[in-house]
Structures are given as structure tokens and as C-alpha cells.
A and B are shown apart, each in its own frame.
Chain A
Amino acid sequence: AQKITQTQPGMFVQEKEAVTLDCTYDTSDPSYGLFWYKQPSSGEMIFLIYQGSYDQQNATEGRYSLNFQKARKSANLVISASQLGDSAMYFCAMRVNTNAGKSTFGDGTTLTVKP
């Protein structure tokens, strides 16, 4: 079975500073993908970034980067230069490639950016 753990229910960050949201995962499958999604108060889930289990380099997408440490089974999201619009719920998810694409989500971290 696959499991995602996000240990930070809530995080605060000052505007323009960087913040790291933690995510650890558990799977016995060697081939998987890790995802981060943002859910603003409006409710729609927005895809942010993807890391494949065989990717050698950490993924980056604009101000988002994924700190992938395979041996530790962690996939932390780093947001640089935080903006007020980054205030939202953030979910880490895993998709195992051998399981017809089933995606498992963590319970999320609420990020609040302070002006």
C-alpha cells in the first residue's frame, strides 16, 4: 500500500521569504511519480510540480522546486520568494506506475503568507 505523510498541518512565512513544506512517502514499487498540488480557498486543485522516481535531478517549475531524497523517501516542496497569493492548502501526492495510475494524497499543509 502507498502512503503519504505531511507532518506540518500549518505553516507561516513572511512575504518574499522561502518556505519548505515536508512530505514523506512509503511504497515498495520502484517506479512512481511524486506530485504537489495547491488548493486555494476556492477549492480547485492546481498541479504545481512533478518528480519521477528515476529522475536524477530535482524538479523545478518557476518559484517551485522539489527536494527529492529517494533514500529518505522524502519529496519536500520549496517555494522561493513567497507571495500573498501563495496562501493555500498544499498537498503532496504519489502515483505508482504499476497500479493503473492510482494517486494517493497526504492530508495537506496550510500555508499562510504574512505581509
Chain B
Amino acid sequence: EAGVAQSPRYKIIEKRQSVAFWCNPISGHATLYWYQQILGQGPKLLIQFQNNGVVDDSQLPKDRFSAERLKGVDSTLKIQPAKLEDSAVYLCASSPLRQGANTGELFFGEGSRLTVL
């Protein structure tokens, strides 16, 4: 079974530029998450989708960050304009709907490392 795919793995941009990250979750996983992980900290949830609907975006800085999950499959996270403090690893994760013996664990991609200069 293919894992969660993310691209690009690395991106360096100047502040005030824009950047987009792409994520393709595991096939059949209804729930998709974008986390921001700043160096030395734990992942912080930015946005959670269930199918193509937003479940939680309370911590997404909506003045500069946007995300979409068209057709309930892959997703794009955009930052425009970027700030220095956006330098972080952006992790995408997916999980199936909780039912039966499913524990609800998250399956993560390798992450996209963003450096804003």
C-alpha cells in the first residue's frame, strides 16, 4: 500500500513570496490533516478535512494560509505572503474513519521543509 505522498520535500523562498505544498493521502482515507512543525516543537494542527469538507481550521492563519481538498482526495496548502516565522516542516497526515478496531492513528508523509529568508 502506498503511503502519504508530499511534495516538494524542500523549498526556500524569500519573505512575501508564495509557496504551495501538495499532499496525496493513502487511498481510501477520508480524513486529511495539515500540521506545522517548527524546529524543536511538536506538530500543530493547521487544518483537518473529512472528505472534501473542513472539520477544523481554527489554528489556520487565514490571512495568509489557505488549503483545499478538491474531490476529497489530494490536498494543497498555500502560504501567501510568507513570513520568516513560517519556516517549518509542513506535515500531511491521513487516517481512515474510526470504526471497529481502527485506533485512529495518523499516517504521515515525509513532510515539506520550508525555509523563508
Contact = CB atoms under 8 A, between A and B. Distances in A.
A44 B92 CA distance: 10
A83 interface: no
A6 B48 CA distance: 24
A100 B93 CA distance: 15
A25 interface: no
B89 A50 contact: no
A51 B98 CA distance: 14
Given A43-B111, A50-B105, A100 B55 contact: yes
A104 B110 contact: no
B111 A102 contact: no
15 contacts: A35-B103, A35-B105, A35-B106, A37-B108, A43-B113, A44-B110, A44-B111, A45-B106, A47-B105, A97-B98, A100-B48, A101-B95, A102-B56, A106-B42, A107-B40
Contacts, number: 67
A33 B55 contact: no
B107 A47 contact: yes
Q: Interface size class for chain A? A: 20 to 34
B103 A50 contact: yes
B109 interface: yes
Given A45-B108, A100-B55, A91 B42 contact: yes
Interface string A51-79: 01000000000000000000000000000
